[in-house]
Amino acid sequence: MKLRELGMAVLTVAALLGGASAHAAGKLEQVLARGKLVVGTGSTNAPWHFKGADGKLQGFDIDMAKIIAKALFDDPEKIEFVNQSSDARIPNITTDKVDITCQFITVTGARAQQVAFTIPYYREGVGLMLKAASPYASYAALKTAGAKVKVAVLQNVYAEAMVHAALPAATVSQFDSQDLIYQALNSGRADAVATDQSSIAWFLKQNPGKYKDAGYGWNPQTYACAVKRGDQDWLNFVNTALHEAMTGVEFDTYAASFKNWFGAELPPPKIGFPVEYK
Protein backbone atom coordinates (compact mmCIF):
# COMPACT_ATOMS: atom_id res chain seq x y z
CA MET A 1 0.00 0.00 0.00
CA LYS A 2 1.35 3.39 -0.95
CA LEU A 3 2.12 5.86 1.84
CA ARG A 4 -0.62 8.27 0.70
CA GLU A 5 -3.18 5.43 0.61
CA LEU A 6 -2.09 4.28 4.06
CA GLY A 7 -2.54 7.81 5.41
CA MET A 8 -6.01 8.06 3.91
CA ALA A 9 -6.94 4.70 5.44
CA VAL A 10 -5.76 5.83 8.87
CA LEU A 11 -7.77 9.05 8.57
CA THR A 12 -10.86 7.09 7.52
CA VAL A 13 -10.59 4.73 10.49
CA ALA A 14 -10.03 7.68 12.84
CA ALA A 15 -13.09 9.42 11.44
CA LEU A 16 -15.20 6.30 11.91
CA LEU A 17 -13.97 5.83 15.46
CA GLY A 18 -14.56 9.50 16.17
CA GLY A 19 -18.10 9.20 14.83
CA ALA A 20 -18.78 6.17 17.01
CA SER A 21 -17.36 7.98 20.01
CA ALA A 22 -19.49 11.06 19.34
CA HIS A 23 -22.57 8.89 19.02
CA ALA A 24 -21.75 7.11 22.28
CA ALA A 25 -21.59 10.50 23.98
CA GLY A 26 -25.09 11.48 22.84
CA LYS A 27 -27.70 12.54 25.38
CA LEU A 28 -29.70 9.33 25.11
CA GLU A 29 -26.66 7.22 25.92
CA GLN A 30 -25.62 9.59 28.71
CA VAL A 31 -29.03 9.42 30.38
CA LEU A 32 -29.20 5.63 30.11
CA ALA A 33 -25.71 5.29 31.58
CA ARG A 34 -26.56 7.68 34.43
CA GLY A 35 -29.68 5.71 35.30
CA LYS A 36 -31.99 8.68 35.77
CA LEU A 37 -33.53 11.54 33.80
CA VAL A 38 -32.80 15.11 34.93
CA VAL A 39 -35.86 17.30 34.30
CA GLY A 40 -36.20 21.05 34.70
CA THR A 41 -39.62 22.18 35.91
CA GLY A 42 -41.42 24.50 38.32
CA SER A 43 -43.19 23.97 41.63
CA THR A 44 -45.85 26.68 42.00
CA ASN A 45 -48.28 26.42 39.09
CA ALA A 46 -51.20 24.01 39.43
CA PRO A 47 -52.25 21.96 37.55
CA TRP A 48 -48.91 21.86 35.73
CA HIS A 49 -46.18 21.56 38.37
CA PHE A 50 -46.74 22.09 42.09
CA LYS A 51 -46.09 20.45 45.44
CA GLY A 52 -48.75 18.27 47.03
CA ALA A 53 -49.47 17.88 50.72
CA ASP A 54 -46.67 15.31 50.89
CA GLY A 55 -44.17 17.83 49.50
CA LYS A 56 -43.73 15.89 46.26
CA LEU A 57 -44.04 17.47 42.84
CA GLN A 58 -47.19 16.70 40.90
CA GLY A 59 -49.08 18.01 37.89
CA PHE A 60 -49.45 17.44 34.16
CA ASP A 61 -45.86 18.48 33.34
CA ILE A 62 -44.62 16.10 36.02
CA ASP A 63 -46.65 13.26 34.50
CA MET A 64 -45.19 14.00 31.04
CA ALA A 65 -41.69 13.74 32.50
CA LYS A 66 -42.59 10.42 34.13
CA ILE A 67 -43.83 9.09 30.79
CA ILE A 68 -40.40 9.83 29.30
CA ALA A 69 -38.62 8.22 32.28
CA LYS A 70 -40.75 5.10 31.90
CA ALA A 71 -39.82 4.90 28.21
CA LEU A 72 -36.15 5.13 29.21
CA PHE A 73 -36.01 2.82 32.22
CA ASP A 74 -39.40 1.13 32.45
CA ASP A 75 -39.66 3.07 35.71
CA PRO A 76 -41.43 6.46 35.87
CA GLU A 77 -39.71 7.33 39.15
CA LYS A 78 -36.14 7.37 37.82
CA ILE A 79 -36.13 11.16 37.69
CA GLU A 80 -34.29 14.01 39.34
CA PHE A 81 -36.38 17.18 39.18
CA VAL A 82 -34.54 20.50 39.10
CA ASN A 83 -36.75 23.29 40.42
CA GLN A 84 -36.26 26.29 38.15
CA SER A 85 -37.82 29.68 37.51
CA SER A 86 -39.50 30.40 34.19
CA ASP A 87 -36.55 32.48 32.97
CA ALA A 88 -34.19 29.51 33.60
CA ARG A 89 -36.09 27.11 31.36
CA ILE A 90 -33.91 27.70 28.31
CA PRO A 91 -30.52 28.51 29.97
CA ASN A 92 -30.62 25.29 32.00
CA ILE A 93 -30.97 23.31 28.77
CA THR A 94 -28.27 25.10 26.83
CA THR A 95 -25.80 24.73 29.73
CA ASP A 96 -26.65 21.03 30.26
CA LYS A 97 -27.92 21.55 33.79
CA VAL A 98 -30.97 19.50 32.78
CA ASP A 99 -31.64 16.89 30.08
CA ILE A 100 -35.06 18.31 29.26
CA THR A 101 -37.45 21.02 30.39
CA CYS A 102 -41.14 20.19 30.88
CA GLN A 103 -42.59 23.40 32.29
CA PHE A 104 -45.57 24.68 30.27
CA ILE A 105 -43.16 26.36 27.87
CA THR A 106 -44.89 28.00 24.90
CA VAL A 107 -43.43 27.20 21.50
CA THR A 108 -42.29 30.27 19.56
CA GLY A 109 -39.98 30.83 16.62
CA ALA A 110 -37.57 32.86 18.74
CA ARG A 111 -37.29 30.10 21.35
CA ALA A 112 -36.89 27.44 18.67
CA GLN A 113 -33.66 29.17 17.65
CA GLN A 114 -32.27 28.43 21.12
CA VAL A 115 -33.68 24.97 21.93
CA ALA A 116 -35.31 22.09 20.09
CA PHE A 117 -38.99 21.57 20.88
CA THR A 118 -40.61 18.16 21.13
CA ILE A 119 -43.98 17.37 19.63
CA PRO A 120 -46.79 19.19 21.47
CA TYR A 121 -48.38 17.53 24.49
CA TYR A 122 -51.04 20.22 25.13
CA ARG A 123 -52.63 23.17 23.37
CA GLU A 124 -53.38 26.05 25.72
CA GLY A 125 -55.75 28.97 25.17
CA VAL A 126 -57.60 31.71 27.02
CA GLY A 127 -61.12 31.16 28.32
CA LEU A 128 -63.76 32.85 30.47
CA MET A 129 -64.95 31.55 33.83
CA LEU A 130 -68.13 32.70 35.57
CA LYS A 131 -69.94 31.83 38.77
CA ALA A 132 -72.37 28.97 38.30
CA ALA A 133 -75.24 31.31 39.25
CA SER A 134 -74.12 34.08 36.89
CA PRO A 135 -76.94 35.86 35.02
CA TYR A 136 -74.86 35.36 31.86
CA ALA A 137 -75.56 31.92 30.48
CA SER A 138 -72.75 31.78 27.95
CA TYR A 139 -70.11 33.60 25.97
CA ALA A 140 -72.78 34.88 23.58
CA ALA A 141 -74.61 36.52 26.50
CA LEU A 142 -71.40 38.14 27.73
CA LYS A 143 -70.67 39.55 24.30
CA THR A 144 -74.21 40.87 23.88
CA ALA A 145 -74.02 42.67 27.24
CA GLY A 146 -71.14 44.80 25.97
CA ALA A 147 -69.68 47.32 28.42
CA LYS A 148 -71.90 46.06 31.25
CA VAL A 149 -69.63 43.04 31.58
CA LYS A 150 -66.65 43.40 33.90
CA VAL A 151 -63.76 41.02 33.27
CA ALA A 152 -60.89 40.39 35.70
CA VAL A 153 -57.54 39.41 34.20
CA LEU A 154 -53.94 38.96 35.32
CA GLN A 155 -51.95 42.16 34.81
CA ASN A 156 -50.00 42.22 31.57
CA VAL A 157 -49.19 44.77 28.87
CA TYR A 158 -51.36 42.77 26.46
CA ALA A 159 -54.14 41.92 28.92
CA GLU A 160 -56.73 44.48 27.80
CA ALA A 161 -56.21 43.76 24.10
CA MET A 162 -56.41 40.04 24.81
CA VAL A 163 -59.80 40.37 26.56
CA HIS A 164 -61.13 42.71 23.89
CA ALA A 165 -60.25 40.17 21.19
CA ALA A 166 -63.12 38.08 22.60
CA LEU A 167 -65.30 40.74 24.26
CA PRO A 168 -64.66 44.00 22.38
CA ALA A 169 -66.79 46.24 24.64
CA ALA A 170 -66.13 44.65 28.05
CA THR A 171 -64.75 46.62 30.99
CA VAL A 172 -61.35 45.16 31.92
CA SER A 173 -59.85 45.18 35.42
CA GLN A 174 -56.26 43.99 35.83
CA PHE A 175 -54.87 42.38 39.00
CA ASP A 176 -51.31 41.44 39.93
CA SER A 177 -52.02 37.87 41.05
CA GLN A 178 -54.18 34.95 40.00
CA ASP A 179 -55.79 34.77 43.45
CA LEU A 180 -57.01 38.35 43.14
CA ILE A 181 -58.86 37.76 39.89
CA TYR A 182 -60.77 34.91 41.54
CA GLN A 183 -61.48 37.12 44.55
CA ALA A 184 -62.89 39.78 42.21
CA LEU A 185 -65.22 37.20 40.69
CA ASN A 186 -66.34 35.86 44.08
CA SER A 187 -66.99 39.33 45.48
CA GLY A 188 -69.02 40.47 42.48
CA ARG A 189 -66.46 43.06 41.34
CA ALA A 190 -66.12 41.04 38.15
CA ASP A 191 -68.63 39.06 36.12
CA ALA A 192 -65.98 36.79 34.62
CA VAL A 193 -62.30 36.04 34.75
CA ALA A 194 -60.16 35.64 31.64
CA THR A 195 -57.43 33.08 32.21
CA ASP A 196 -55.79 29.99 30.76
CA GLN A 197 -58.28 27.30 29.85
CA SER A 198 -56.20 24.73 31.73
CA SER A 199 -56.56 26.87 34.88
CA ILE A 200 -60.31 27.04 34.36
CA ALA A 201 -60.54 23.25 33.94
CA TRP A 202 -58.50 22.74 37.12
CA PHE A 203 -60.50 25.32 39.08
CA LEU A 204 -63.83 23.78 38.03
CA LYS A 205 -62.59 20.34 39.01
CA GLN A 206 -61.51 21.58 42.45
CA ASN A 207 -64.78 23.47 43.03
CA PRO A 208 -67.60 21.37 41.55
CA GLY A 209 -70.87 23.21 41.04
CA LYS A 210 -69.49 26.63 42.01
CA TYR A 211 -68.26 27.94 38.66
CA LYS A 212 -68.79 27.39 34.95
CA ASP A 213 -66.87 27.77 31.71
CA ALA A 214 -68.39 30.29 29.29
CA GLY A 215 -67.65 27.87 26.46
CA TYR A 216 -65.34 29.98 24.33
CA GLY A 217 -61.59 29.84 23.83
CA TRP A 218 -59.11 31.96 21.91
CA ASN A 219 -55.43 32.92 21.71
CA PRO A 220 -54.09 29.36 21.17
CA GLN A 221 -50.52 28.45 22.11
CA THR A 222 -48.61 25.19 22.04
CA TYR A 223 -46.94 23.56 25.03
CA ALA A 224 -44.03 21.20 24.41
CA CYS A 225 -40.95 19.98 26.24
CA ALA A 226 -37.60 21.40 25.17
CA VAL A 227 -34.17 19.81 24.71
CA LYS A 228 -30.76 21.01 23.61
CA ARG A 229 -30.34 21.57 19.89
CA GLY A 230 -28.11 19.35 17.81
CA ASP A 231 -28.88 15.86 19.17
CA GLN A 232 -31.46 14.37 16.83
CA ASP A 233 -31.36 10.91 18.46
CA TRP A 234 -32.38 12.38 21.83
CA LEU A 235 -35.13 14.51 20.29
CA ASN A 236 -36.41 11.52 18.31
CA PHE A 237 -36.52 9.37 21.43
CA VAL A 238 -38.46 11.92 23.50
CA ASN A 239 -40.85 12.52 20.60
CA THR A 240 -41.47 8.77 20.36
CA ALA A 241 -42.22 8.53 24.09
CA LEU A 242 -44.69 11.43 23.98
CA HIS A 243 -46.26 10.30 20.73
CA GLU A 244 -46.96 6.81 22.02
CA ALA A 245 -48.41 8.28 25.20
CA MET A 246 -50.95 10.25 23.18
CA THR A 247 -51.66 7.68 20.47
CA GLY A 248 -50.29 4.26 21.39
CA VAL A 249 -49.12 1.92 24.11
CA GLU A 250 -49.04 4.49 26.93
CA PHE A 251 -52.33 6.18 26.04
CA ASP A 252 -54.06 5.04 29.22
CA THR A 253 -51.37 6.78 31.29
CA TYR A 254 -51.71 10.02 29.33
CA ALA A 255 -55.53 9.90 29.41
CA ALA A 256 -55.59 9.26 33.17
CA SER A 257 -53.34 12.27 33.75
CA PHE A 258 -55.47 14.45 31.46
CA LYS A 259 -58.62 13.49 33.35
CA ASN A 260 -56.96 13.97 36.73
CA TRP A 261 -55.77 17.52 36.06
CA PHE A 262 -58.32 18.82 33.55
CA GLY A 263 -61.41 16.74 34.34
CA ALA A 264 -61.89 15.63 30.73
CA GLU A 265 -62.24 12.15 29.25
CA LEU A 266 -60.17 11.63 26.10
CA PRO A 267 -61.49 9.32 23.38
CA PRO A 268 -59.06 6.45 22.74
CA PRO A 269 -57.11 6.51 19.46
CA LYS A 270 -58.91 4.73 16.65
CA ILE A 271 -57.49 1.42 15.57
CA GLY A 272 -56.49 1.05 11.93
CA PHE A 273 -55.23 3.81 9.68
CA PRO A 274 -52.81 6.05 11.66
CA VAL A 275 -54.49 9.27 12.73
CA GLU A 276 -51.30 11.21 11.94
CA TYR A 277 -51.96 10.88 8.21
CA LYS A 278 -55.59 11.97 8.20
| pLDDT digit string, tens, across residues 191-242 | 999 999 999 999 999 999 999 999 999 999 999 999 999 999 999 999 999 9
Q: Are 250 and 67 in contact (CB under 8 A)?
A: yes
State mean pLDDT over 156-177.
96
Mean pLDDT of 32-39: 98
Predicted pLDDT of residue 5: 46
Same topology between domain 7-122+222-277 and domain 125-220:
yes
pLDDT reported for residue 22: 44
- pLDDT of 9 higher than 60: no
- Mean pLDDT to the nearest integer, 24-46: 94
Encode pLDDT of 76-85 as tens digits: 999 999 999 9
When pLDDT is cut at 50, 70 and 90, the band that residue 275 belongs to is confident
| Domain segments of the chain as ranges | 7-122+222-277, 125-220
Flag the least confident range among 4-18, 95-109, 140-154: 4-18
Distant-in-sequence, close-in-space partners of 69: CB < 8 Å, separation ≥ 6:
36, 37, 75, 76, 77, 78, 79
Q: Compute the half-sphere exposure of residue 83: CA atoms within 13 Å on the CB side of its CA.
A: 10
What pLDDT band is residue 24 in, cutting at 50, 70 and 90?
A: low
pLDDT tens, position by position, 232-254: 999 999 999 999 999 999 999 99
- pLDDT at residue 98 tops 60: yes
**Span 41-56, pLDDT tens digits:** 999 999 999 999 999 9
- Report the CATH architecture of 125-220: 3-Layer(aba) Sandwich (3.40)
Q: What is the DSSP letter of 177?
A: S
Kindly tell me if the per-residue pLDDT of 8 is higher than 50: no
Q: Is the dihedral of CA 192, 196, 197, 202 positive or negative?
A: negative
Distance of CA 218 to the CA centre of its chain: 17
Arithmetic mean of pLDDT over the chain: 92
Q: What is the pLDDT of residue 7?
A: 41
DSSP calls for 83-150: E--GGGTTHHHHTTS-SEEEEEEEP-HHHHTTSEE---SEEEEEEEEEETT-S--SHHHHHHHGGG-E
**Superfamily of segment(s) 7-122+222-277:** Periplasmic binding protein-like II (3.40.190.10)
Average pLDDT estimate for 144-152: 97
For residue 157, the model assigns a pLDDT of 94
The predicted-structure confidence for 63-78, as pLDDT tens digits, reads as follows 999 999 999 999 999 9
Return the DSSP state at 274: -
Split at pLDDT 50, 70, 90, the class of 25 is confident
277 — pLDDT class (breaks 50, 70, 90): confident
Q: By C-alpha distance, which of 40, 32, 101, 102 is closest to 73?
A: 32
